[in-house]
Amino acid sequence: MSIISRSLIVFTGFIIFWQIIVSVFQLPDYILPTPWAVLIALKTNAHLILQQSIPTLTETIIGLILGILIGSLAALSMVFVRSISFWMLPLLIISQAIPTFAIAPLLVIWFGYGLASKIITTIIMLFFPITSAFFDGLRQTDQHLLDLAKTMNAKKWRIFMFIRIPAALPHLASGIRVATVIAPIGAIVGEWVGASRGLGFLMLNANARMQIDLMFAVLVTIIIFSLILFFLVDKLLKWLITW
């Protein structure tokens, strides 16, 4: 069974389950709207939702790209210069120990209401899985490959370029997959804390006005975007890294 048909089955099952819950417990719309109501909200607000998607998507994609760059560079420098790893590792762990939610308001104060603060939230949330996966990959190069390179009288940086980095790319790819799933969350969290645009802002607004159907419609949109993004990134990675 293909991934698409399996997804469809799971999705349909979930919708039916949702409908049953609403019907059995006689839930009012402002607690849990029916799937149908959400679909209607999605349709009537399509223009608004699409308009608000643009900043969120921009933040997600820029954050993802910068996060991959910064995360990879951090891993490379940690492996190449041992003292950097020695001093950076505690910093990395601290950066992950602080809840992003807690510092997000600070980031808004520092970097403003615009895209920058959201992109930075996204980067902070996703660069760790990338650094950690790539760093592990770079340290786990097969010893027999390194032995071979040594008997070939290779320079250290060339071994790095031609053996260690390519050998670690599958690890980096799994880090990027995790980051791709996290990236939209980063953007949304950033918007929740302080924004005048974006899907997170729209959700918060709908919530405050008890437009629960709209809130769910936005949620569904975020899920669809996340799935598409993951699917595209996964395809790209599988095409680029075949070993």
Which residues, 6 or more positions from 108, have their beta carbon under 8 angstroms from its beta carbon? 117, 190, 193, 194
Amino acid found at 154:
A
- From CA 114, how far away is CA 94, in angstroms rounded? 26
Q: Closest CB to other proteins among 82 and 155?
A: 155
CB of 89 vs other proteins, minimal distance in Å = 23
CB of 178 vs other proteins, minimal distance in Å = 22
- From CA 106, how far away is CA 143, in angstroms rounded? 46
CB of 165 vs other proteins, minimal distance in Å = 10
- Contact between 1 and 183 (Cβ < 8 Å): no
Which pair of structure tokens corresponds to residue 171? 């690890």
* Helical ranges in 26-114 per DSSP H: 35-44, 46-80, 82-97, 100-111
- From CA 241, how far away is CA 229, in angstroms rounded? 18
CB of 230 vs other proteins, minimal distance in Å = 24
- From CA 16, how far away is CA 241, in angstroms rounded? 39
CB of 37 vs other proteins, minimal distance in Å = 51
Question: Which of these, 217, 204, 237, lies nearest to 64 by C-alpha position?
Answer: 237
CB of 136 vs other proteins, minimal distance in Å = 18
Which residues, 6 or more positions from 5, have their beta carbon under 8 angstroms from its beta carbon? none
- From CA 1, how far away is CA 163, in angstroms rounded? 37
Enumerate binding residues for other proteins (CB under 8 A).
142, 144-145, 147-155, 158-159, 162-163, 166-167, 169, 242-243
Q: Closest CB to other proteins among 134 and 201?
A: 134
Q: Closest CB to other proteins among 174 and 226?
A: 174
